[in-house]
Structure 1
Amino acid sequence: MSQLYSLITLLQLVGVLPIVAIASGLRHQSPDICKLIDSQIPGRISYPGSEVYDASVASYYSGQERELTPHCIFRPTTTSEVSEFVKSINTNSRKHARHRTDSRFSQPQFAIRGGGHTLWPGAANIDNGVTVDLREMKSVVLSEDQKMASVGGGAVFSDIYPQLVPYNRTVMGGRVPGIAVGGFTTGGGLNFLSRRHGFSCDNIYGYEVVLASGEVIYASASSHKDLWLALKGGSNNFGIVTRFDLAAFPQGEMWGGAILFDYTKSNLEAQANAFSNFMDPQNFDSAADMGVILGYLNSGESEIYTLGNSLFYMDGVPNPPVFQPFTSIPSLEPNTLALGSVSETVDRFGEFLPPHIPRGIELVYSHENSDASLFTELFQIWEDGTKEFADIEDLQIQFLVQPQAVTNGTNSFGLEPGRKDIVISVLTAAYANAADDDIVEERLHAIVDKHVAILEREGLYIPYKYLNYADKSQDPIGSYGKVNKRRLQAVSKKYDPHGLFQTGVPGGFKLF
């Protein structure tokens, strides 16, 4: 066995034996899908050790995703190339189906990657399969009436925004750099304009989609409406979206940035009071987006707590009255609050965020607004919970409390349209050592479980879990409700009857 293992290792290192073949057994290798795609679509496949491959893997946000090693990476530039790829995958999947009882034959598996910001391993990358990196599909075309921006399936919003600035237009995309259109919008999408227009996915006119058969269709309110709605929250379960037709909104300068405060009991109480009032529908201002951010840092030598706000106002008014309860709290200098375009604001906000993290986990939940005492209690539970992490060095934990989008209901979430008093909270832990994975996850869940227990006690908890912040241990699609999940399953069976995107794409949140 040791000689065989050494031989396998040597062959892998010199590139003779495909890694995929090992998982399939040595007796009867399945076809090398990477070489097949490379022969059919030359120049789009890259292998480990190449500059393109290594740069793609290194660009994932979390270390868990960067650790995965796809057999190859496919970087298409056109819809027809994506279609050809899916057809080839399908052909090999059918061969697998004919030999499904023979372990020597394996179904080709692949991942679909846009920005690569989801933290957990396998969300948008894969071991020993093919990762489809869509970021070369990055075109941006503004319609003649400037009401729609057609963008490629791998376009990154921080690259889209500056192209729309000369037209005083924007689209509803990520609020930090590096977020791509695909995963963001098919999971929902929270944006600066979400209190005015809803989730990003509520504002998509149509999708160009490559189905499991390789057929290319256009899903909109008037054509394949069931698929159009399913893609609004249904994630990667139906096909590969190669073009998104996004609503483009008039937008000049906005105002916003980050502001920091001393982490004191009085400031926490002031934040709780200000946020509760901000979320009161009587104080609603559709131009305002914001968040309360509590932070904990354990460097190994010291433990530090931080408190801050992200404040954004889309009507370009500095220090608007709606934020006075926050800005009147004595703050630290400097802050980054300023006027600027959406593009400038996103870039400025991104300067304070790490481009990558070693490892991470994120947990999300939703609830109705309440009085300040509830938020004070949640803050205290979070602070008490962080003390359980004192033995984990190089650790950061963030507790973000923010308003949910005021949805118009054009999605698959099952949320009540027009609600202005729903809160989305997310706890994120970033840390250095893989050995701490289980304990960090367990302790972070313990904080969330205590939060949820309080919210359920008060009758405020909402089952909905925002998919883009959810961990693999959560069930965002199930949180849409049984009726909506069954509807998504029916759409999957209609457009993907053999379940390619359920079994061939193991990453993401599945429907079955």
Structure 2
Amino acid sequence: MLSIWVVSMIGLVASTLTDTPTNKISGCEALEKKFTAKVWFPGSERYENETTIYWSKSVILQPGPLCVFTPFDAHDIATALPILHSNGSQFAVRGNGHMTVKGAASINNGILVALTDLRKLEISSDSEIASLGPGLTWFEVYNWVQKYDRVIVGARYAPVGVSGFLLGGGISFLGPQYGWGANSVVNFEVVTAKGDIIQANKTSNPDLFWALKGGGSNFGIVTRFDVQTHPTGQIYGGTISYDQSNVDVMFRALQAFAEPGGGIDNAKVGMLPNLFINPATGGQTAALSGFFDGPDGSALKNFTENFSGSTAKLRTYADFLGESAAAGGRGDFRGAFHCVSFKSSAQTVSLINDTVTREAVQHLGDVPGAVVSISPQFLGKQWFEAARESGGDAIDIDPTNANLLVLNLVTQWTNAEDDDKIADWVESVIEKMKKKASDLELNFSFIYLNDAQEGSDPFPLYGGGKSLSKLRDVRKRYDPDNIFQIQMPGGFKLGD
């Protein structure tokens, strides 16, 4: 199985052969010659801003890129890619920098292509289709589209970027009704490795259309997403918080929700739970972002038996998502996501909580600033039915499989010297959870791309193992020279 670090090494080897420091610098110079006001070098304010606006400090690389290119539209990128290719320059592409994998949206001694200025916001005359630029955040999108009484299947954390979310599939509060966020995309505008601007939809380049729904950045640079909007009215939602005295209320409610009839099969309910563990004390607190698509809040009643605080009320969807603007923004911390999946059940919830809490207290209590968050993401079979009804995607989970619990295990810490310790701990605790789940027949082979940790390999698990060969064929058709595999070395690669 070809992991991300193997591909990165291939790119590194290639760079020693074709991408000398002189060529790298000439790549920046060639771009600057063509785009005088869109190339930024160290020492400029724009360079400093573009190279530091990541969710986690742990993905900010040093010394960083040789220069930053900030294109304004698809034509700029179509002009730039052949320049980068001809100079053998390595590069990275960044939307809003929420992925926690080093090098996925950052680079050392290469060129950072920052999509910050691609900010299209347009809606069709009937308000059915919205056109979104990859430089936008969902906070901007939600506030804009609410004016039309419409909603888009986007991120649960409003500061997340449009581009990475959709290309990775996209878990949304609206997923039980409409599937992955990517399933609402009706057209991608893409700049290919050769510098061609093409459209990918059901009738034009349909193979690429399928591959981009979960296939990441392996095929080109997407410069516009045309997405289906949906009607919206008043919803019931907010954040319910728990302290150590009542956190067991949320735990029991999650156990109930995980079972058929307990909530996971209610398509109108969406939630994002977080159980926070302090390894130094073993103490737990929790918060739930809970949502019901309508005015009835009774679907969340199990979570409101006892709590420390709540903002849940009747409101617009945009207002509800706005609460996450602070929680999901850029942090002055080191942090990483880690994904593993199981069949959803009350037993699964207990297994995860017991294992992670015990291991965190035993092994991370002396790590400065350490916080571990258990974030179970419940994906019922109606999610995957909706995904297939929309036309399908590369992820292609069979709805006849059991309801899933896709765990995002989030770690935060203070010091760079603890990076390896945290990574080793995560690897160990995931293996222990999988071993226990195997004994109970609760494992499920799936890694959600947007929560994947460095070194994991999500694509061979897509479609029960059937999507990878097709994804590779699509990649070879649209990137025959392997530019997005070798010259763009970061992120998760498809391999040969």
TM-score normalised per structure 1: 0.87
Compute the displacement of 1:308 (Å).
2.8
Tell me, yes or no, if the aligned pair for 1:135 and 1:153 is still in contact at 8 Å. yes
- By how many angstroms is 1:208 displaced? 0.5
Q: Which moved more, 1:378-387 or 1:63-72?
A: 63-72
Letter in structure 2 aligned against 1:477: F
* Cα deviation digits, residues 20-47 of structure 1 (max 9, x gap): 99x9667x65661111111112211111
Task: Quote the offset at 1:195 in angstroms.
Answer: 0.7
Corresponding residue of 1:356: 331
| Distance in 1 between residues matched to 2:134 and 2:252, nearest whole Å | 43
What secondary structure sits across from 1:136 in the alignment?
coil
Partner of 2:160: 179
Task: Tell whether the 8 Å contact from 1:272 to 1:373 is kept in structure 2 after alignment.
Answer: no
**Map 1:50-89 → 2, pairs under 5 A:** 50-68=44-62, 69-89=64-84
Instruction: State how far apart, in whole Å, the 1-side matches of 2:43 and 2:225 are.
Output: 33
Indicate whether 1:505 and 2:488 are aligned: yes
Question: Given the superposition, is the C-alpha separation of residues 457 and 170 from structure 1 closer, same or farther in structure 2, using an over 3 Å criterion?
Answer: same
Which residue, out of 301, 304, 307, partners 1:331? 307
Where do residues 377-388 of structure 1 align in structure 2 (5 Å cutoff)? Answer: 377-387=351-361, 388=363
The whole-number CA distance in structure 2 between the counterparts of 1:54 and 1:269 is 43
Matched residues in 2 for 1:125 and 1:89: separation?
16
Report if aligned partners of 1:297, 1:394 keep a CA contact under 8 Å in 2.
no
Count of residue pairs brought into register by the alignment: 469
Using the TM superposition, give the Cα deviation of residue 124 of structure 1 relative to its aligned residue in structure 2, in angstroms: 0.4
Against the structure 1 CA distance between its residues 212 and 224, is the aligned structure 2 distance closer, same or farther, given a 3 Å change threshold? same
Task: Give the residue type in structure 2 aligned to 1:111.
Answer: A
Compared CA separation, residues 238 and 194, structure 1 to 2 (3 A): same
**Residue ranges of structure 1 left out of the alignment (5+ in a row):** 1-19, 93-106
Pairing of 1:410-449 with structure 2 (within 5 A): 410-417=392-399, 421-449=403-431
Q: Does 1:375 align with 2:349?
A: yes
What is residue 150 of structure 2 aligned with on the other side?
A: 169
In the TM superposition, residue 202 of structure 1 has moved relative to its aligned partner by 1.0
Amino acid at match of 1:314: D
Query: Structure 2 matches for 1:52-131, cutoff 5 A?
Result: 52-68=46-62, 69-92=64-87, 107-131=88-112
**Corresponding residue for residue 32 of structure 1:** 26
Any conservation in 2 of the 1:357–1:430 contact (CA below 8 Å)?
no
SS where residue 64 of structure 1 aligns?
helix
Q: CA contact under 8 A between 2:263 and 2:299: conserved in structure 1?
A: no
Q: Is the 8 A contact 1:281 1:420 kept in 2?
A: no
Please give the alpha-carbon distance, in whole angstroms, between the structure 2 residues aligned to 1:339 and 1:197: 22
The corresponding residue for 1:103 is none
Within 2, Cα distance between the matches of 1:436 and 1:71?
27
The alpha carbon displacement at 1:272 in A equals 4.2
Query: Structure 2 vs 1, CA of residues 262 and 31 (structure 1 numbering), >3 Å: closer, same or farther?
Result: closer
2:466 aligns with one of 467, 470, 483: 483
Give 4+ residue runs of structure 1 displaced > 6 Å after superposition: none
Counterpart of 2:3?
Answer: none
C-alpha change, 1:427 and 1:108, in structure 2 (3 Å) is same
Work out which of the residue numbers 448, 453, 471 in structure 2 matches 1:466. Answer: 448
**CA deviation map 1:425-447 (0-9, x unaligned):** 11110111111111111112222
User: What is the CA-CA distance between 1:213 and the residue it aligns to?
Assistant: 0.3
How far apart are residue 88 of structure 1 and its match? 1.1
Structure 1 residues 353 and 241, CA gap change in structure 2 (3 angstroms)? closer
Change (3 A) 1:267 1:198: same
Query: 1:46-67, CA deviations, whole angstroms, 9 ceiling, x for partnerless residues?
Result: 1111111111112111112223
8 Å CA contact 1:120, 1:360 repeated in 2:
no
User: Is the counterpart of residue 255 in structure 1 residue 236 in structure 2?
Assistant: yes
Cα distance, 1:418 vs structure 2: 7.2
Q: Which one is further off, 383-392 or 252-261?
A: 252-261
Distance 2:320 2:423 in 1: 33
Give the whole-Å Cα distance in 1 for the aligned partners of 2:19 and 2:301: 62
- Aligned identity (percent) is 27
Please give the per-residue CA displacement for 1:160-215, whole angstroms capped at 9, x wherever unaligned.
11111111011111111321111110101011110100000111101010000001
Does 2:299 align with 1:322?
A: yes
Secondary structure class of the residue paired with 2:466: helix
Structure with higher Rg: it is 1
> Equivalent residue for 2:320?
345
- Structure 1 residue 140 corresponds to structure 2 residue 121: yes
| CA separation of 1:269 and 1:186: change in aligned 2, threshold 3 A | closer
Gaps of 5+ in 2: 1-14
Q: What is the CA–CA distance in structure 1 between the aligned matches of 2:492 and 2:353, rounded to whole Å?
A: 30
Moved more, 200-209 or 289-298: 289-298
In the alignment, the residues of structure 1 paired with residue 84 and residue 301 of structure 2 have an alpha-carbon distance, to the nearest angstrom, of 56
Q: Is the 8 A contact 2:258 2:264 kept in 1?
A: no
1:79 counterpart letter in structure 2 = A
In 2, Cα distance between the equivalents of 1:152 and 1:418? 35
SS of 1:350's partner is helix
